[in-house]
Amino acid sequence: MGLKIVETYTIMIFRNNPARIIPYGRGMVLLLALVSPVVLSASPVASPTWGFCIDPPEGYQLTGGDGKDRFSFGFLEEETQLDLVVYAGALQPDGSRSKNPYASVAVLAADVQRRLNSQGDLKPFTYRNKQAILMELRFLGINGLSQGWALCIELASPEPAGEKPLLLALAYGPVQRGNIPDVHFSALDSIAPTPQDRLVPGPITEYHYPRGMQRQVSLAGLPVEALIYEHDAAAAQALVDREFRILRRYSASPQWKEAWIRFYRAIYRDSFDRLAHAAFILERFWNIPALEDRDLAEKALHWVQSFTYERDLGGSDFVNLVSAAVEGRGDCDSRALLWALILEQANIPAAIMVSPHYSHAMGLADLPGTGARFTLEGTSWLVAETTSPVSLGRISAQMRETRYWVGVALE
């Protein structure tokens, strides 16, 4: 599932219907509601100019901005707003940039707080060698008292030795609707400030759950160990639980399929780096002697098939992938997503398919050979059943109706 290119998308929208920008002093804008909203599909949006991308919950609609440095999204059902503004030096005729109006994220955050007259603490932290500040918002806007959260974070410089541009992201809504931190945090956590951050835990999760020290742990049922950060399992489960609470909001929504896709995509992004060393160790363990891709996929499949079947119908019903790999437990979707992650780490294209109708999930891999297949984004994927001891490509005849399955592309 590719990234949408924001600039091209918004230029088409705003060329004949420019957004109305409400000024909040020098360099400060809130982007409020202003053009016919355009619903975004279940895919992240990216800025080729600045390198960041964002994957907010389903329901956010692009409602304003200039198509380059300012973007505004409204979640009309929840009456919440998500505004993004990039601050960088102005581009000069010779191609250089003038000095950034804000010298640091601390200066930017303090100015936001002052100009909005916002109440709330500023919480500085470091996210993957980038300075960041998480800020609680409580301010009087044009529609009354609002509350939420803001993230100020450094972006990658477009020039090798240039100043780092700064991203301000504000997620907020009216107080009378009640604070919905899950939605705000999920939107901000979906931000990847640079292309290198797109398959690592998000900034909000990293703030709340610093990863700690690496430690050697055994992988379930195998004579191998891998390096896992000490707080990775707790952090991964907290993200699963938050995203599941959001997913439940869509049970009767026409966007339920998109919401399911984003749920698994968020978990995959959070877990990919957490399990990078484990996937490397597993590939090395299974790949001696060297195996064909399909044989490696079979080895990984037999491993997850050996896990203890576990469900939690009172909670998220999804065992985070770190605990699944270490403790050898999980339901069908935990196993399918873990299997797909291992294959992707081995450069074997993989995905998953889920079915609320069948209450089941299976893995998908772009591999040759015979077996049942599922078409997703023009590719015919080989199906992998992760809860029964069967080979790749085998699927129960009772679950063959493709109209009941939703394909989930992970990258």
What's the confidence (pLDDT) of residue 96?
65
**pLDDT surpassing 50 at residue 322:** yes
User: Quick one: what percent of the chain has pLDDT higher than 70?
Assistant: 85
Burial class (CB in 10 A: 0-12, 13-18, 19+), 124: middle
Residues 194 and 238 in one domain: no
Neighbours of 305 (CB within 10 A): 16
Number of domain units in the chain: 2
Residues 162 and 63 in one domain: yes
Residues 219 and 128 in one domain: no
Looking only at the bridges linking them, the beta strands covering 373-376 and 406-409 are unpaired
Which CATH number belongs to the domain containing residue 318 in this structure?
A: 3.10.620
What's the confidence (pLDDT) of residue 94?
63
Which CATH number belongs to the domain containing residue 112 in this structure?
A: 3.40.1000.10
Residues 100 and 192 in one domain: yes
Instruction: Read off the tokens for 22.
Output: 């409400």
| Average pLDDT of the segment spanning 310-332 | 86
Residues 353 and 252 in one domain: yes
Domain enclosing residue 60, as ranges? 4-208
Residues 232 and 342 in one domain: yes
> What gap in Å lies between CA 167 and CA 151, rounded to an integer?
8
Q: What's the pLDDT tens digit per position in 248-258?
A: 999 889 999 99
pLDDT-based confidence at residue 61 (cuts at 50, 70, 90):
confident
For 247, residues 6+ apart whose C-beta sits below 8 A from its C-beta are 259, 260, 263
**Three-state secondary structure string covering 140-187:** EECCEEEEEEEEEEECCCCCCCCCCCEEEEEEEEEHHHCCCHHHHHHH
pTM of the entire structure? 0.88
Question: Which range is least confidently modeled, 76-80, 115-119, 215-219, 280-284?
Answer: 76-80
> What gap in Å lies between CA 15 and CA 10, rounded to an integer?
8
What's the confidence (pLDDT) of residue 42?
52
Per the listing, tokens 């499949």 go with 301
Tell me how far apart the terminal alpha carbons of the chain are, to the nearest angstrom: 6
Q: Where are the alpha helices (DSSP H) in 232-320?
A: 232-247, 256-272, 276-286, 293-305
Residues 124 and 263 in one domain: no
Residues 192 and 237 in one domain: no
Residues 57 and 189 in one domain: yes
What's the confidence (pLDDT) of residue 315?
61
Question: Which range is least confidently modeled, 44-48, 239-243, 252-256?
Answer: 44-48
Residues 229 and 190 in one domain: no
What's the confidence (pLDDT) of residue 394?
94
| Average pLDDT of the segment spanning 30-36 | 31
> What gap in Å lies between CA 182 and CA 179, rounded to an integer?
9
What's the confidence (pLDDT) of residue 390?
96
> What gap in Å lies between CA 50 and CA 335, rounded to an integer?
36
Residues 347 and 372 in one domain: yes
> What gap in Å lies between CA 78 and CA 55, rounded to an integer?
17
CB 199 within 8 A of CB 185: no
Largest CA-CA distance found in the chain, in angstroms, rounded: 66
Q: What's the pLDDT tens digit per position in 85-116?
A: 999 977 666 666 678 889 999 999 999 999 99
| Average pLDDT of the segment spanning 122-149 | 92
Residues 273 and 345 in one domain: yes
Q: Please identify, among 162, 179, 208, the residue that sits at the C-terminal boundary of a domain.
A: 208
Q: Please identify, among 208, 237, 253, the residue that sits at the C-terminal boundary of a domain.
A: 208
Cα atoms in the 13 Å half-sphere on the side-chain side of 150: 32
pLDDT-based confidence at residue 160 (cuts at 50, 70, 90):
low
What's the confidence (pLDDT) of residue 179?
54
Q: Please identify, among 208, 229, 255, the residue that sits at the C-terminal boundary of a domain.
A: 208
**pLDDT surpassing 60 at residue 303:** yes
